[in-house]
């Protein structure tokens, strides 16, 4: 990822649509994408969603499911602000929900645990504003479609994964 994109991400803003769409198009062109794909964090703007619809319209693929994970702002802030990432191996911890054995030290490799710049409180607030303005409109864009689902993101990652799998299994066997 370029230095400019990193600066944008650290500030809590979104990377430009053309950059994101370029990354997505490139990845979709790889052979393994033919087996199906799961996007996490894409699309995040109306322009991205419309571009995705155009890609789908020109290909023999369908959007099978659209998952809207719902969580209160206060829980989002708690999860993000407590997240710590190992500078050496990338392992992810949480100061409250998944603390390392020794504070600030990675259990796996002994590396130093750091906070992402965009997980600092003032940046989290900005990310939520950007979400309200640029991403929340996607709910109305997708809500009437087959496969659209709202799923509660309350609980630990295992509980949420189970909930998502159950929801998807129910509709697609």
Q: Which residues are annotated as a binding site for ATP?
A: 83, 92-93, 155
Q: What angle do CA 128, 133, 137 make, to 5 degrees?
A: 110
**Residue 108 binds which of ligand ADP, Zn ion, none (CB < 5-8 A, kind-dependent):** Zn ion
Among 36, 41, 58, 144, binds ligand ADP (CB under 6 A): 41
Q: How many residues bind ligand ADP (CB under 6 A)?
A: 13
Tell me the Cα Rg of the chain: 18
Residues forming the site for Zn ion (CB under 5 A)? 86, 88-89, 91, 106, 108-109, 111
Half-sphere CA count of 110, side-chain side, radius 13 A:
0
Q: Both tokens of residue 68? A: 């809207």
**CA distance linking residue 130 with residue 163, whole number of Å:** 27
Show binding-site residues for AMP.
13-15, 41-44, 48, 116, 127
Q: Which is nearer to ligand ADP, 18 or 166 (CB)?
A: 18
89 binds, among Zn ion, ligand ADP, none (CB under 5 to 8 A by kind): Zn ion
Partner whose footprint covers residue 138, from Zn ion, ligand ADP, none (CB < 5 to 8 Å by kind): none
Of 58-117, which residues contact ligand ADP (CB under 6 A)? none
Distances (CA, A) of 18 to 14, 48, 51, 53: 11, 9, 10, 15
Name every residue whose Cβ is closer than 8 Å to that of residue 37 and which is 6 or more positions away in sequence: 27, 28
From the list ligand ADP, Zn ion, none, which binds 111 (C-beta under 5 to 8 Å, kind-based)? Zn ion
CB of 31 to ligand ADP, least distance (A): 23
């Amino acid at each position: 990822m370029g230095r400019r994109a990193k600066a944008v991400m650290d500030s809590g803003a979104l990377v430009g649509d053309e950059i994101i769409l370029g990354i997505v198009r490139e990845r979709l062109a790889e052979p393994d994408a033919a087996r199906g794909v799961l996007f996490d964090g894409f699309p995040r703007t109306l322009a991205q969603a419309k571009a995705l619809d155009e890609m789908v319209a020109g290909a023999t693929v369908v959007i099978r499911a659209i998952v809207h994970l719902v969580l209160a702002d206060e829980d989002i802030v708690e999860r993000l602000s407590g997240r710590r990432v190992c500078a050496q191996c990338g392992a992810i911890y949480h100061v409250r929900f998944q603390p390392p054995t020794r504070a600030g030290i990675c259990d796996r490799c002994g590396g130093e645990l750091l906070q992402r710049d965009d997980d600092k409180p003032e940046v989290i607030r900005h990310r939520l504003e950007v979400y309200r303005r640029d991403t929340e409109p996607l709910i109305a864009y997708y809500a009437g479609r087959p496969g659209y689902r709202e799923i509660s993101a309350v609980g630990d990652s295992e509980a949420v994964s189970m909930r998502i799998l159950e929801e998807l299994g129910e509709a697609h066997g």
